[in-house]
Amino acid sequence: MALKATIFKAELQITDMDRKYYLSHALTLARHPSETDERMMVRLLAFALSADEALSFGKGLSTDDEPDLWQKDLTGVIQHWVEVGLPDERRIRKACARATQVTVFIYGGRTADMWWSQNQGALQRLDNLTVINLPSAATLAMAAQAKRNMQLQCTIQDGQIWLLSEGETVHIVPVTLQYGDSKKYR
């Protein structure tokens, strides 16, 4: 018998001063049985950093042909494809061919650094790809904030992020390893 996903609810208030995006979102996250709290919270952070009214969660781990998050236009064209973790380089190439903009949020400390070392050469040829490395201490602290019902405030300013939940604040300073051509996307 297959295990079912665990449902998490999040009220996410985003104050993104860098992009001038100020909106609250009521989100439902299905955490796959094989997914950790850390990965789920990174998906939530990826949502906050890529926030748009048209952005939605994909089927993620349960399907190979959908990303963790994506934004489509009214005709179904994929404008933004968002991956979390350390995806296979072929998967990223395929995503770059299907979407106008692709963003990969990597995490995991040394494992993420090794993944980047191994894939950097091939990925640098993809001009619509952005790769962002999230510090391990921050993603682990975010995992500790995971609750079945969450109320989160995310403030983004000057490339830094503050994620507040129940009085606990996690400060995140992501490192952009590769900038994609965002002129195509915005």
Confidence at residue 183, expressed as pLDDT on a 0 to 100 scale: 46
Q: What residues have CB less than 8 Å from 63, skipping those under 6 apart?
A: none
The architecture that CATH gives domain 14-178 is Roll (3.10)
For the chain, what is the total number of helices (H) and then of strands (E)?
4, 11
What is the percent of the chain with per-residue pLDDT over 70, rounded to a whole number?
94
Of 36-45, 55-64, 88-97, the one with minimum mean pLDDT is: 55-64
Which pair of structure tokens corresponds to residue 183? 């002129």
Confidence at residue 103, expressed as pLDDT on a 0 to 100 scale: 98
Supply φ then ψ for residue 131, to 5 degrees.
Answer: -120, 125
Residues linked to residue 57 through DSSP beta bridges, in sequence order: 69
Q: Mean of the pLDDT values across residues 61-76?
A: 84
117/120 Cα distance (integer angstroms): 6
Domain ranges of the chain: 14-178
Question: How many residues in total does the chain contain?
Answer: 186
Half-sphere exposure of 134 (CA within 13 A, CB side): 31
Tens-place pLDDT, residues 13-41: 999 999 999 999 999 999 988 899 999 99
CB 82 within 8 A of CB 132: no
**H-only helix segments in the chain:** 37-50, 89-98, 110-123, 136-144
95/67 Cα distance (integer angstroms): 8
